[in-house]
């Protein structure tokens, strides 16, 4: 029996990468694959809800009608950031399985899919290692004055004063690092941080610490205690009603005046107006921002003008390994689906 598979990739996870992993993993089955390439990240994703209450998806790229026409009579859809809505599913009666290569498939209306008998799987932890490593780099770039020194030399200025006791950076082994969110990324980051010898605080009300982390001296504390005692606060929770704008004027006021805030998670975790005021007025020392409330950021955005902020264009999860691993995870569940075996990474309403 031939299985028709629609594959939609982009310039990060190429459709050929999806296809290659599917053919290797499902070699004993007859797969009929058709491929489509979206222009992300050359073109930005659509954020929000497109102004329509009946389109409860976020962060997607692709025209609804064009994507629907491409999927057509396929039984299986494997993709990265393509939209899947209830109205689209209504026109796709033969679609029974969706593999989305993201940790959280916010571009898929999972409730509608489940209601219509379409199974959805994801790729949890696909970029956990990449983001954890990037976060370490982000912390060091700010605490060890790497960004400041680089910017000065680019402008022809030799900042020898950065060797002075009152301006030089601090080592991680003398600092307290607070990790908010103890999921795939947070747990990976905590294990890397242990090698630096810093004190590590964790806040996540929904999980318990790994016994090995406890043995290593990692402490699970309240958010208030974490903010008050940390020299570095790094954010790694999912966006939810509880975590949206969890960093605001009230929580920022609890932090140390020299503290560094790192956000390599999602923009909605921060109230960026409050953060701008806190950075400008010395409420906290500095910030490293990788994700934003609006992407791309407006060229006149106030935070771009501050000299105590390091900024990158939402690239923490971007690595060659992330793309390959995500494709491998989906291919394994495609094989499970075809074989009639339980799906490992099934999404439920």
What is the domain count for the chain? 2
**One domain, residues 88 and 203:** no
Identify the CA nearest to 47 among candidates 79, 83, 72.
Answer: 83
**One domain, residues 243 and 135:** yes
Average pLDDT, the chain: 95
Host domain of residue 33: 2-126+319-347
The mean pLDDT value for 231-237 works out to: 97
**One domain, residues 109 and 10:** yes
Percent of the chain exceeding pLDDT 90 equals 92
**One domain, residues 185 and 104:** no
**One domain, residues 231 and 158:** yes
**One domain, residues 111 and 259:** no
**One domain, residues 165 and 279:** yes
**One domain, residues 331 and 299:** no
What is the pLDDT, as a whole number, of residue 134?
Answer: 98
**One domain, residues 335 and 303:** no
**One domain, residues 158 and 109:** no
- The residues assigned a catalytic role are 266, 295, 314
Distance CA(297)–CA(13), nearest Å, equals 24
pLDDT digits (tens, 9 = 90+) for 94-144: 999 999 999 989 999 999 999 999 999 999 999 999 999 999 999 999 999
pLDDT digits (tens, 9 = 90+) for 186-219: 999 999 999 999 999 999 999 999 999 999 999 9
**The domain that contains 119 carries what CATH number?**
3.40.50.720
pLDDT band at 54 (very low <50, low <70, confident <90, very high): low
**One domain, residues 182 and 237:** yes
**One domain, residues 243 and 228:** yes
């Amino acid at each position: 029996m031939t299985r028709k598979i629609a594959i939609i990739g982009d310039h990060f996870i190429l459709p050929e990468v999806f296809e290659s992993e599917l053919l290797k993993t499902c070699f004993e089955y007859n797969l009929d694959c058709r491929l489509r390439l979206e222009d992300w990240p050359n073109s930005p994703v659509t954020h929000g809800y497109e102004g329509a209450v009946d389109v409860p998806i976020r962060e997607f790229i692709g025209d609804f009608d064009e994507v629907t026409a491409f999927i057509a009579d396929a039984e299986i859809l494997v993709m990265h950031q393509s939209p899947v809505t209830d109205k689209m599913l209504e026109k796709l009666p033969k679609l029974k399985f969706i593999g989305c290569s993201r940790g959280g498939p916010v571009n898929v209306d999972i409730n509608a899919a489940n209601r219509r008998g379409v199974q959805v799987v994801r790729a949890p932890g696909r970029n956990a290692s990449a983001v954890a490593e990037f976060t370490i780099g982000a912390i060091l770039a700010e605490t060890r004055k790497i960004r400041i020194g680089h910017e000065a030399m680019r402008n022809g200025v030799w900042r020898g004063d950065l060797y002075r006791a009152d301006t030089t950076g601090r080592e991680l082994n003398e600092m307290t690092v607070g990790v908010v969110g103890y999921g795939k990324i947070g747990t990976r980051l905590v294990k890397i941080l242990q090698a630096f010898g810093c004190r590590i605080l964790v806040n996540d009300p929904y999980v318990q610490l790994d016994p090995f982390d406890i043995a290593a001296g990692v402490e699970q504390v309240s958010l208030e205690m974490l903010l008050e005692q940390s020299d570095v606060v790094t954010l790694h929770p999912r966006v939810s009603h509880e975590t949206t704008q969890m960093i605001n004027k009230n929580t920022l006021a609890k932090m140390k005046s020299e503290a560094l805030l790192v956000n390599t998670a999602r923009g909605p975790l921060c109230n960026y107006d409050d953060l701008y005021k806190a950075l400008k007025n010395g409420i906290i020392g500095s910030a490293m921002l990788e994700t934003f409330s609006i992407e791309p950021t407006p060229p006149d955005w106030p935070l771009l003008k501050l000299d105590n902020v390091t900024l990158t264009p939402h690239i923490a999860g971007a690595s060659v390994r992330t793309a390959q691993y995500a494709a491998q995870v989906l291919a394994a569940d495609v094989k499970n689906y075809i074989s009639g075996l339980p799906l490992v990474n099934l999404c439920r309403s």
